[in-house]
A = this chain, B = another copy of it.
Amino acid sequence: MRGIVMAAPGDVRVEEREDPKIIKPTDAIIRLTATCICGSDLWPYRGVEPVNHTPMGHEYVGVVEEIGDEVKTLKVGDFVVGSFVISDNTCEICQAGYQSRCVHAEFVSQTIGTQAERARIPFADGTLVATPGHPAPDLIPSLLAASDVLGTGWFAAVAAEAGPGKTVAVVGDGAVGLMGVLAARQLGAERIIAMSRHADRQALAREYGATDIVEARGDEGVARIKQLTNGLGAHSVIEAVGTHESMMQAIRATRPGGHVGFVGVAHEGVSLPADELFFSEVHLHGGPAPVRRFLPHLIQLIWDRKINPGKVFDLTLPLAEASEGYKAMHERRAIKVLLSL
């Protein structure tokens, strides 16, 4: 079968590799219907993270082709959406809603690579969720978004305690930030301030529910958020970038007692000043999103056409042209690229 590897930073290739096989009785083999390129895939592309002939991809929807003997909730032919982290969904950590830190957690991106025609998914019952039936083609992008960016933006909004009566600010206008806007709206937030400098992303943010746009960043951006909130700061701030600057912007834009939900992948060397965190008196929570917690609800919202997260994909290419997709995202010509199969 064909799959995408990154041979070296900036060097994305299609390779022929062996078809995956069932190894453990809890595995499933899926045939991918669609996959995509994540903002986090750009870190190795840009040489910020090491990469060496690495199978790429961790977002996926597809059809179950084969199941191990112990798989109980899925059958061959089911259309499924999976999380970017493998989880058993039964351990104490999963049951508390943190499937991304399951005692059996495994990152799909590091070992499996779903920018490919097929994939072996361990702990299939705990990782995959079947849709109510085979989806109409126009639902595929939205279901694919649920696999990571929607689930991640949703987790950020939940971690930031977005809800009725709340003012929510969103730092980062990439796909995850935009999904954070959508999630905050669905969770009932009163006011949603998207921090963005790009006209196309601002438009999509407004479509997803943003009530205000702030173009300023850093200290100036924080001052603007305070102006909009009686000098107090937002109740809830979603951080969807992962740099020191964006983290500090999020913390400083939050009122005392407010909540920061941070899902931008923080990189080695980024540190936070404990004294400022102490005196800010905010709540800080984030990390790799436990997408599996939210998948059943998100699938239903998509199935019922109550949300349309798939609009975040503004470029679709065949899998074979993945290299062009990476380039487009790297050059910010695309927010997010769907790879069709």
Contact = CB atoms under 8 A, between A and B. Distances in A.
A285 interface: yes
A256 B92 contact: no
A38 to B, nearest CB: 16
Contacts of A283: 283-285
Contacts of A313: none
Interface in A19-64: none
A264 B258 CA distance: 20
A216 interface: no
Interface residues of A, number: 41
Q: Could you say how many copies of this chain the assembly holds?
A: 2
Interface of A: 92-93, 96-98, 100-101, 103, 230-232, 242, 244, 247, 255-257, 262, 265-275, 277-288
A91 B25 CA distance: 59
A276 to B, nearest CB: 8
B278 A284 contact: no
Interface centre among A93, A274, A279, A285 (most CB of B within 10 A): A274
B265 A247 contact: no
Given A92-B232, A101-B256, A272 B277 contact: yes
A284 B275 contact: no
A284 B277 contact: yes
10 tightest Cβ-Cβ pairs between the two chains A and B: A101-B256, A266-B274, A281-B287, A98-B257, A270-B274, A271-B271, A266-B278, A284-B284, A283-B285, A266-B275
